[in-house]
Amino acid sequence: MKPAVLTGEHYITGDVACAEGAIAAGCKFFGAYPITPATEVAEHMAERLPDVNGTFIQMEDEIAAIASILGAAWTGTKSMTATSGPGFSLMMENLGLGVCTETPCVIINVQRTGPSTGLPTLTGQGDMMQARWGSHGDYEIIALAPASPQDCFYHTILAFNLSEKYRVPVLVMADEIVGHMSEKVIIPDASKIKLIDRPKPRGRKDRFKLYEPGPNGVAPMPAIGDGYNVHVTGLTHDERGYPAMSVEAQEQMMTNLKGKIRNNLDDIIETEEYKMDDADIVIVSYGISVRTGLTAVDEARKLGYKAGLLRLVTVWPFPEQMIKDIAERVRGLITVEINLGQVHYEVERCAGGKAPAYLVGSAGGKIIHPDKVIELIKETF
Amino acid sequence: MTKNPKKYNKQPVHPLDDLIRTDRIPHIWCSGCGIGTVFSSCLKAIKATEIPYNRFTMVSGIGCSARGAGYVNLDSFHTTHGRAIPFASGIKMANPDLKVIVFSGDGDLFAIGGNHFIHAARRNMDITVVCVNNLTYGMTGGQVAATTPNNANTTTTPFGNPDSPFNLPLMAYASGASYVARWTILHTRDLTDSINEAINKKGFSFIEVLSPCPINYGRRNKEKPLDTLKLYQDNTIIKNGADPVTADIDFNRGVILGKFVDTERNTCDDMYASTCHRPCSDD
């Protein structure tokens, strides 16, 4: 039996690193359905979960997979699933159930190229807007984008922590390249890994209200069997959790659901910067495309351009204020992503005309070559 | 484990009050609907097991019957359409000590959720599925269901249903269920005993309960509320151990009620525990 945290240096894929991150974060339940290029996450979880007395189950489809992790989450268990485009589409309705019922869980999406079956074995970043808005209705969600197997390990832990802290499903938006490539992954000592658990209720059970927000806007969450007799529904509900079919209840629920994310943006949003101090051309990127951006910054600097990179670790919620501030002081923003414009439009919206926003995108299938960014810089600046 | 709460109110209380969210009454079910009868049988059965209430949880999907989860005073989950069983499977596999009851309707469990039903039965997931079968989609106004008899009129089969219905006990048996029974809402004692037995049964238990929907099914099929109950009384026959192949619903020929299947087979959580070398759950 191996321990939960495999401290040491490893040479593993991003998919395996996601699985190890989950185990290190205390994940004890994994329900999934096989799909390229995310299958290896499931395979590794199947092997590793018995080590930590956890449970793996391969469900009959992705709808069942996400439903099972939501159910497991209410037993007080940290739970996760992993999928790719078509499976992610199937999960959308129950993702909304997770948001509405404030159920912590983690969903890994190892993105491939779409639409439809697309290029199952090749990379893409075309699910970013689906990650934001894919389930019906209005809501807030958290999505992270790892750029390496090492990130996969840490981002999965971060995803669990955010999910537990804010009682919201958290999406880890990896991609085929990150998922399938092997690199060095350093797993620290267990004592160095900070874990967050969902807030538990205290006080009188008869006065307990399931969705009464705590100090940071997040309500404490009991587990099945704790004696709180909770009712959990995907219908619009009041603070007791009871269905409430009124405009007022809808407004109150939405205020709570959005507020707990919107009022904690500083705590949630993480970005990284590279040569940004004097940059007047800013490349905005996330996930595997960060690697394109890093090389492009160096190449552009060699040519005399003051280029810098803003890396979005958290893509959703979007770092609106940061983009606004950058737009005030630069000559242009270039978004690099493996789609034909998704996060780019968010950057453009936030730049608000203060600086022009450009896209270096692609239809998918491979990482974008830094030369494409350099070409754009040469043509434009 | 905590003891079941006792209430000492001055006013006389209903014997099931401790299992009902009385602050959510009145319920949404129509006059003449049978869901309430199935629901109260289910609660009586829960009580009769004498298992502490906090070891129970009820999960439902979407539809009239699925509202049951909103009225029961247990940890209860009203999930998405068709997905009660995989949600319940997640609960059971993450905490095998819990008694998980899925309470939902035929449209939810057998059309949109049909795939989940057969797979949970195949795995012998240790949960109890109570299906209120009213032969139609009641909540949306009476559309054709996977259980609607051939030729029946519904809002989406205005010239009669061209399709044939499922034989639910046969499907449950063929998929691997450990316990399969069928009753009607007239057979409340049998039904209550059967649910009690199913809760205590290790493995996937399935109970189909025939229940009238006078507003959205009976009305369009020349069946007055009492006519349906008369059919349940006169045109049914209790035959324990009957071959599920003979269990299709044909009131002209007679509908078979009773316990079709009661077998022993290792459950999903036990098998996972023994295969993956984990300690077994204690019940």
Domain boundary among A192, A216, A231: A192
A232 and B87: CB-CB below 8 Å? Answer: no
pLDDT (tens digit per residue) in A131-177: 999 999 999 999 999 999 999 999 999 999 999 999 999 999 999 99
pLDDT band at residue B282 using 50, 70 and 90 as cut-offs: very low
Please indicate, yes or no, whether residues A301 and A185 belong to a single structural domain of this protein: no
Domain boundary among A150, A173, A192: A192
The pLDDT assigned to A203 comes to 84
The pLDDT assigned to B85 comes to 98
For chain B, domain boundaries: 28-275
Residue spans of chain A under pLDDT 50: none
Nearest by CB to B86, which of A50, A68, A231?
A68
How many CA atoms, within 13 angstroms, populate the side-chain half-sphere of residue A257? 25
Q: Report whether pLDDT(B8) > 80.
A: no
Interface check A55 vs B, CB under 8 A: yes
First-residue to last-residue Cα distance in chain B: 14
Please indicate, yes or no, whether residues A30 and A130 belong to a single structural domain of this protein: yes
CB B205, CB B127: distance < 8 Å = yes
The answer, yes or no, to whether ipTM is higher than 0.90 is yes
The pLDDT assigned to A206 comes to 87
Four-CA torsion B31, B34, B35, B38, nearest 10 degrees: 140
Please indicate, yes or no, whether residues A38 and A169 belong to a single structural domain of this protein: yes
Q: Report whether pLDDT(B174) > 70.
A: yes
Dist CA A302 CA A231 (whole Å): 61
Dist CA A236 CA A253 (whole Å): 7
Domain boundary among A159, A177, A192: A192
Residue A244 belongs to some domain of the structure:
no
Residue A62 belongs to some domain of the structure:
yes
What average pLDDT does range B43-69 have in this prediction? 98
- What residue spans of A175-316 are helical by DSSP H? 176-180, 247-262, 265-268, 289-302
- Best probe of the A interface among B91, B102, B117, by most A CBs < 10 A, is B91
Please indicate, yes or no, whether residues A162 and A14 belong to a single structural domain of this protein: yes
Residue A78 belongs to some domain of the structure:
yes
pLDDT (tens digit per residue) in A66-114: 999 999 999 999 999 999 999 999 999 999 999 999 999 999 999 999 9
Interface check A71 vs B, CB under 8 A: yes
Shortest CA distance from B2: residue in chain A: A227
B83 and A228: CB-CB below 8 Å? Answer: no
Structural domain boundaries, residue A73: 8-192
Residue A98 belongs to some domain of the structure:
yes
The pLDDT assigned to B10 comes to 65
The pLDDT assigned to B283 comes to 45
Please indicate, yes or no, whether residues A176 and A293 belong to a single structural domain of this protein: no
Shortest Cα–Cα distance, B4 to chain A (Å): 10
Three-class secondary structure of residue A91 per DSSP: helix
What average pLDDT does range B140-162 have in this prediction? 97
B70 and A79: CB-CB below 8 Å? Answer: no
CB A172, CB A144: distance < 8 Å = yes
Interface check A235 vs B, CB under 8 A: yes
Please indicate, yes or no, whether residues A13 and A116 belong to a single structural domain of this protein: yes
Residue A282, domain CATH: 3.40.50.920
Dist CA B27 CA B213 (whole Å): 16
Which residues in chain A are closer than 8 Å to B24, comparing Cβ atoms? Answer: 242
Dist CA B146 CA B160 (whole Å): 14
A225 and B95: CB-CB below 8 Å? Answer: yes
Please indicate, yes or no, whether residues A138 and A282 belong to a single structural domain of this protein: no
Phi/psi zone of residue B151: left (φ > 0), alpha (ψ -120 to 50 degrees), beta? left
Shortest CA distance from A210: residue in chain B: B75
Residues 6+ apart with CB under 8 A from A44: A15, A16, A19, A20
B83 and A229: CB-CB below 8 Å? Answer: no
Please indicate, yes or no, whether residues A87 and A186 belong to a single structural domain of this protein: yes
Question: For chain B, what is the mean pLDDT?
Answer: 95
What average pLDDT does range B190-203 have in this prediction? 98
Residue A19, domain CATH: 3.40.50.970
Place of tokens 């450009």: A358
Query: Which overall architecture, per CATH, does domain B28-275 show?
Result: 3-Layer(aba) Sandwich (3.40)
Residue A1 belongs to some domain of the structure:
no
Shortest Cα–Cα distance, A274 to chain B (Å): 43
Please indicate, yes or no, whether residues A42 and A182 belong to a single structural domain of this protein: yes
Dist CA B55 CA B126 (whole Å): 14
How many domains does chain A divide into? 2
Residues 85-104 of A with CB under 8 A from B: 93-94, 97
CB A112, CB A119: distance < 8 Å = yes
Report the candidate in B129, B87, B88 with the shortest Cα–Cα distance to residue B110. Answer: B129
Residue A144 belongs to some domain of the structure:
yes
The pLDDT assigned to B13 comes to 83
Interface check A289 vs B, CB under 8 A: no
